[in-house]
Amino acid sequence: MSKNIEIAKKLYSDEPAIKDMQGYTNKKLKIWESEVVSYFPVNSWILDIGCGMGREAFCLYDRGFRITAIDISETVLESAKQFAIESNRDIQFLLTNGLDLPFESDTFDVVII
């Protein structure tokens, strides 16, 4: 499995992938995402697995949710962290994969991928 993680990490750390993700940072949720979010409990703590540069994380934070976002690409996480600081958003971005989660059971109200 670690070979697959390394392949994904390389894919999402390459410059073309990063440039593609930059175009989506701080945009609105997609229509279907907004519909799904309407079912989340108010003020939920959300784990965003595979957050990339944080499009969903930033949008959900702006809707009043508490966000912890994880990704396997250090490169994209650094950009997301910087944007969170610049935009004064308190979002925790962590470098880890979706298989080895460093959280206790029942930490989050909602998990998105």
Higher pLDDT, 60 or 26: 60
Q: Percent of the chain scored above 90 by pLDDT?
A: 58
Give residues with Cβ within 8 angstroms of 62, minimum separation 6: 89
Map tokens 């809707």 to a residue: 63
* Euclidean distance between CA atoms 16 and 11, whole angstroms: 9
Number of domains in the chain: 1
pTM of the prediction?
A: 0.81
User: What is the extent of the structural domain holding 11?
Assistant: 2-112
Pairing of strands 92-95, 110-112: unpaired
Q: Are 53 and 79 in contact (CB under 8 A)?
A: yes
pLDDT tens-digit map of 7-52: 666 666 666 655 555 555 556 788 888 899 999 999 999 999 999 8
Write the CATH number for 87.
3.40.50.150
Q: How far apart are CA 109 and CA 47, in angstroms?
A: 8
Q: H helices of 1-111, where?
A: 2-11, 15-22, 31-37, 55-62, 74-86
Cα three-residue angle 92-100-113, rounded to 5 degrees: 60
